[in-house]
Amino acid sequence: MAFIFYGCIFIWGILGGCLGWTEYVTPDNHVSHYVGQSVQLEGRIDSGSVCMREGYVSLQIEVERVDDTPCVGKIRLGVTQAATAKFPTYGQLAVRGELKAIRGLANPGSFDTELAARIQDIGGRMSVEVSQLTYSASEPTWTDKLSTINQTAKDKVYAVMAPQDAAILIGMVLGGYEGIDSTTVRNFSTTGLVHILSVSGSHIALLVGFVLSLCHMLKLPRQLTVVLAAVIIIFYTLLCGFSPPVLRSLLMGLAMLVGLSLGRSSQRGTILGATAFAMLCYRPLWLWDVGFQLSFLSTAGLIYLLPPCRDYLKRYLPELLADTLAVAVAAQAAALPLLVHYFHQISLSSLAANLIVVPLVEFVLVVALVGLVLSILCSVLGSFCLVLAASILGISLRLTDYLAAIPWAVVTVGALPAATALIYYLGLWLALGLPPMEDLSKNLRRLGVLCCCGGFALYYALVGLLPRPFTVYFLDVGQGDCAVVQTPEDEIIVIDTGGLRGNFNTGERIIVPFLRYLGAKQVDVLLLSHGHHDHAGGAARLATMMPITTVMLPYGETGEDVEQLLHIVQGKSQVEYLETGEQFSVGKCIINVVSCPKEIVGDDSNERSALVQLTYGAAQVFFTGDATADAELAVAGQDIGSAVLKVSHHGSKHSTVREFVRAVQPQTAIISVGADNRFGHPGSSTLETLAQEGAAIYRTDTMGALKVTFTDAGHLVYSYRQESDNF
């Protein structure tokens, strides 16, 4: 029977891989086919998606008609000038506007916005004013009623505690990251507990583990225990609003309970495999959903790894604590390769966090649920339980902060090939003697585990010995600049950090994940061409999350972003101010400051942009920041020939003059620019000049992150959108 389980995994892998990207999931009447057109949309409000801020509402519409033509799929809708107190949370909406494509920033190591939208069946986005909407009331569906219950429960939490504490408790108990500060998310990531901050399969596992442990202590029959646990998790998912991620977690949890009611682990595996197979028949694209993957692996861990983990821990810990910890360890051990794949880190503090924090979080979950139920019957008792849950949560947060601050709390491992995951699972299977390895002798299994450890050692030895080329990555940070230079000696130079308006920080969301993807543990040099937000906006957060040896920037550069950076690195990093004609060495890489004016004429601070040439052997790359035409002309008479030119000011028509381009003589021109930007960058005259001077043009708005690798024969350029396998 065990082979049925593995067969199901193989079948749903083929199903998702072969069918997941076909027209089968985007039929002819899908709303995505109307992208780029001005259309009249009609559809139902997805009540669970409504998110309100002062004067602004974001939501999803389940489209039913487009210009009187029946249609399917969803869109994201942003509504400005909205009175949030009066905005409907369910019913029918009609809206006219231009349907735009869902477009994310394409970088290795970052969250794939476009894939996530496709998994959720979202075919486009639209931004309108509230006056462009027509609302029609309708009877609430059962999902609308569940969303109302979920929102009512959230309101009860906000009514009895501070907003920040309430946001964290709501995320843990009812779902959603809204309102949780980035420091909390970062500390939970460091300790390997980030999945606890929003409802997922881990919450179902924790709840099931608590119920099983309690029933075991009360010596209740197994079948009664399973039924009781099933009823509790069904009630819990109803309270959470029955969103697709919660529904998937519920199905996995029920599969686990059915499996636990069976005697043999092979039968349990068959149930899990069959459940996953049925879910993927319904939605093949769920195969690529991180939540589905983690839920599946965590549930598999509880089926296969929980019994041996529990038996081992009971030798050293009290039974209840051993049972609780075994649930967390088994789930995380099974999902570890996937966590490494997405976050490129291994948390060394995770075991301590599971031992200390997870039991507290489990208690918080139970007390908060009891409080929400009691609030219906007796508001005083309900409020007391919620306040108690918040108090215990505060202790959990302080412990998490402490564990995250421990040196070596987390180790960055970089991107690993799929073969390492196979080696890990083989070693785990052998070590625990799981089916079909249980018939092998102990000595043979030990030998197998040693071979697996040797495989890891061999991989890292090869990585250390193989030569690494001089490589420059131009990251896709929207309308901004950011480049990461990796030398053959593994030094890291970051030139500019991008910066977007709103709560999306490029340092935290793009640069740090990318550096972890590379396996970088520190930044040797952070160089800012100037202090504009689209070049320096991510610098402070980068400095907060990763050590920086040296910071370089122009004299007299001011602005909120620069001031925050200097405050953070004070006493930690060396600060160098750039001067024209200076040279700095980073290993064998030379940073030549071609121009960096100390004073500027007029009010255009782009004139302060440093023009910098990086040289490594025969490889030369020229960086321009937002240099003006006058600044370019001032250096055009110098020896600045470079194979690669980072085009100034996102390709603005006011820069990249012909004399300067002829002086650089670039074979490759990189334009870092945001898609559909309001400035009209890059300018047609700039593109024409570069093309006429023989430069091949590459753009981040259409190609995503760009990788330039230098070899003895020249250099090669790869686009992350088209050639991600080469990153």
**Tokens, residue 725:** 């396998």
| Beta carbons within 10 angstroms of residue 588's beta carbon | 13
DSSP H or E segment with residue 708: strand 706-711
Rounded Cα–Cα distance for residues 488 and 473 (Å): 14
- The pair phi, psi for residue 414, each rounded to 5°, is 75, 180
CA torsion, ordered 323, 329, 330, 335, to nearest 10 deg: 150
Decide: helix, strand or coil at residue 688. helix
The pLDDT, as a whole number, for residue 82 is 77
pLDDT for res 1: 44
Question: What region, left, alpha or beta, does residue 563 occupy, with left being phi > 0 and alpha being psi -120 to 50 degrees?
Answer: alpha
Q: Is the pTM of this model over 0.85?
A: yes
Question: Bigger pLDDT: 541 or 467?
Answer: 541
Over residues 375-389, the pLDDT tens digits come to 878 888 888 999 999
Task: Region of 33 please: left (phi>0), alpha (psi -120 to 50) or beta.
Answer: alpha
pLDDT exceeds 70 at position 50: yes
Our CA dihedral for 169, 172, 175, 181, rounded to 10 degrees, sits at: 70
Query: What phi, psi does 574 have (nearest 5°)?
Result: -80, 135
Count of CB atoms within 10 A of residue 665's CB?
14
Torsion of CA 180, 181, 183, 189, to 10 degrees: 30
618 in Cβ contact with 471 (< 8 Å):
no
Residue 191 reports pLDDT greater than 60: yes
Distances (CA, A) of 472 to 429, 478, 508, 523: 40, 18, 20, 14
At 502, the amino acid letter reads G
pLDDT attached to residue 610: 94
Residues 411, 190: Cα–Cα separation, whole Å: 9
pLDDT bucket at 551, cuts 50 / 70 / 90: very high
405 close to 188: Cβ distance less than 8 angstroms: no
What is the Cα–Cα distance from 239 to 160, expressed in whole angstroms?
A: 19
Give me the mean pLDDT over the 58-70 stretch: 94
Whether 528 and 536 have beta carbons less than 8 Å apart is answered as yes
The pLDDT of 628-655, averaged and rounded, is 95
pLDDT category of residue 22 using cuts at 50, 70 and 90: very low
**Angle, CA 60 vertex, CA 57 and CA 62 arms, to 5°:** 145
Confidence of residue 265 (pLDDT cuts 50, 70, 90): low
Q: In this structure, are strands 548-554 and 523-527 parallel, antiparallel, or unpaired?
A: parallel
Helix H or strand E segment including 638: none
CA distances from 220 to 217, 224, 229, 553 (A): 8, 7, 12, 68
Percent of the chain past pLDDT 70, that is, above it, reads 94
Whether residue 432 has pLDDT greater than 90: no
**Maximum Cα–Cα distance across the chain:** 87
Lateral strand order in the sheet of 574-578: 574-578, 548-554, 523-527, 492-497, 482-486, 471-474, 706-711, 714-719
pLDDT at 241 over 90: no
Helices (H), 262-305: 265-282, 290-304
Residue 644 confidence (pLDDT) = 98
